[in-house]
Structure 1
């Protein structure tokens, strides 16, 4: 009898999950977009139907996932988000935000944006962050190949494509927030766009619109210095991206033929060249490993490794000098040289910054590039 009484008392003490909500009863935000127009913010929230994702993964179905985008406006980011709540119908959950996309016009408001967003305990610092000059709705409605899970979009999983083609290094919110509060740090913010020219599907009523990274916005001291296209940052990529996995370098022959190397694992040493002039003269020593992707010459014979190394070194040296001078003329610290000066020669940086912009005083005196071909990706018989 005592045992029965104890069981009854224990059952009364069990509260259970009385406030549990299923995924169907919540708006789960996976991407946040922020725009700034006419002195007010416009926010875009991309909702993902997790119940549909689970059903599709379990059954193997390949029906396109429905896309819902909430839009709110306000004089601040939080007021714009609260405007979304007015018609949200359900509780909105922010703990699954995996990407934040900021338009070019809103990049000048980064301090205000993050001051508002990061007061919320729900938003995580590990979200991927992008800039864009395209309408955010076009990015949030982009397609996936083979109607795969909407969580497999490039903006949610950028490292997977970076492993195969290390063009633009993705960055997380924590990195961007810490950099904009530094006095000399520039960060390369990936620029997200969409294209409908590179994929074709057997759907007559629609051409697939796919995401792609087209370059970077250079953010310095919380301000956008400008945009640099992917094709114009080969030298900067090797100097700024120490974790470069693989990126192709084309070595065109004077009369037909093509040689292509796969660049990987760059290492850079920068030194200050003592000078009595007003300029700050730098020397760059770059070493990069490579493998051979393809090799042909005009006569059908493969080029030697030494010849390809020499040509690659000349091309990369020219790229570094040209990219630096082009970016400097636009007041863009593409290579992050001011931060290097700040970290390694603080007294000189402090003295220089007191007289005006540091970048205008920086010059590149000498560039040495060493390309080391590790293997040719071919099988040979001795």
Structure 2
């Protein structure tokens, strides 16, 4: 047996089974498995790529969402700022409009249109323009429809959406030198001139301002007296008669005699200021006019209130309404509107309204509220405030 070769080798690393089959090694890769592993690797790579792409898309979506939210915040912020600025601008325009409508800028809106002949002839022009410049009032030198006239206009600039507006002031003034005024009277054309102005401006108030009229007349009379033969052609005009007739026979026609150019300029500048402010003043009534002259007793406790409060002064202005009665009414009805609201109530009878104030308590001299106003005072107040004729006397209204 030693010389024969054995079919079984003990030095072999691999062992055969009983059928001569050799067990495959773990590291041995079969040819059919290689494509499968390659496919798995490709699938894993594709899955990884897909996952990365999905993560990238998620990140991009989140970034876009953050950017969109940031953009929306910026837009909302800008929108809020724009709305805030718009509201501030509207508030500014509303405030400015209220100021113009209330007359706060009345002197800035009025413009005097001065006929060029006033500046070119006579000695009034230079002083007049100087006064306008000193007061900061606006004027325009132009050719007016009627020679020697001054007209006024109110010019309101554009405020926000409201366009600029121009309105006429129903007032016309004529500046006449003394010689010119006397010539109009002597020639008989003065009244024709007045009628011409009234026909052209029927709703306007007309004012004739003369400069150095009486000085001129006196000067001519002295010269005529000294040199009578040389002054036979001059005749003294009936200026007093004409001025009186202007006041008595013509409606809304006035006259003003000024001693010199400075007085003429001051009158026109003062008139300009008054015309600018007059349309914004509260209209006068019977009570407001008489309230300014209401007599308030010195021993009246609330004397300061009676002087400052218009409604209180109006109550005191009603005849036979004592200040302590007016104070009792004022405490119950602090404004005229509150009392008139009750008087205008259609559910109450006239008798109830007349006796509305009779039970109000007023203070006596000691300070105790022990006395009533009574029906007489209550009825007088009601009939005075509710009188249909504004010119009726208070005593007649109370009857």
Give the TM-score band, short-chain normalised: under 0.3
Larger radius of gyration: 2
TM-score (norm 1): 0.24
Higher helix content, 1 or 2 = 2
Higher strand content, 1 or 2 = 1
Which of structures 1 and 2 has the larger relative contact order (alpha carbons within 8 angstroms, sep 6+)?
1
